[in-house]
Amino acid sequence: MIMKRLMLLCLPVLLLIAGCTLFKTSCDHHDQTIKKVPNMEHTLAIIKPDAVKAHNSGKIIDRIEQEGFEIVGMKKINLSLAQAQSFYAVHKERPFYGELVEFMTSGPVVVMALAKDNAVKAWRDLMGATNPAQAESNTIRKLYGASVGENATHGSDAPETAAEEVKFFFPELS
């Protein structure tokens, strides 16, 4: 029983790591890209460096799938300074921008394009409040986040933003 549960928790990570072999895709950054799902809303999810470092990626990926999301694209990457600055440019004038960019380039992240009816809202609900201390129980940020700055995940805030964010990491899906 314990072995079976361990295998179920580890399977998403193993698929991510072995994705280039199993899915005959490019091995650049352990890329596992499938295809856009028509007639479903898409959103971007990022498992941030704190959650990757704490070995929570597999648990988060498993939870995403258990909640009915389809993962249509997944990459484990190290964001460059230029990528992080560009992706978070909307926050450039905010006091936390420099710290955010530094944090997002501090280690690998897992970026995912997710599909589901009302994907943006569903993913934001599953993540929980930005501040893990204020997040509802059993949300990803409550379970795996440590602070407002290190809160385990990122999610698009609107369908229009989601389209741009998915395109940033998965141009082949746009």
Cross-strand bridge partners of residue 42: 115
Its domain, for residue 55, covers: 2-173
Task: Kindly report, residue by residue over 6-36, the tens digit of the pLDDT.
Answer: 444 444 444 444 343 333 333 343 445 456 6
Tell me how many domains the chain contains.
1
Amino acid 39 reads: N
Instruction: Give the predicted TM-score (pTM) of the model.
Output: 0.81
What's the CATH number where 158 sits?
3.30.70.141
Task: Kindly report, residue by residue over 106-154, the tens digit of the pLDDT.
Answer: 999 999 999 999 999 999 999 999 999 999 999 999 999 999 999 999 9
Contact predicate 151/142, CB 8 Å = no
91 flagged as catalytic:
no
Q: For the range 77-86, what are the long-range contacts, defined as Cβ-Cβ under 8 Å and sequence gap of 24 or more?
A: 77/29, 77/108, 77/109, 77/111, 78/29, 78/105, 78/107, 78/108, 78/109, 79/104, 79/105, 79/109, 80/105, 81/105, 86/168
User: Among residues 30, 42, 55, 154, which one is catalytic?
Assistant: 154
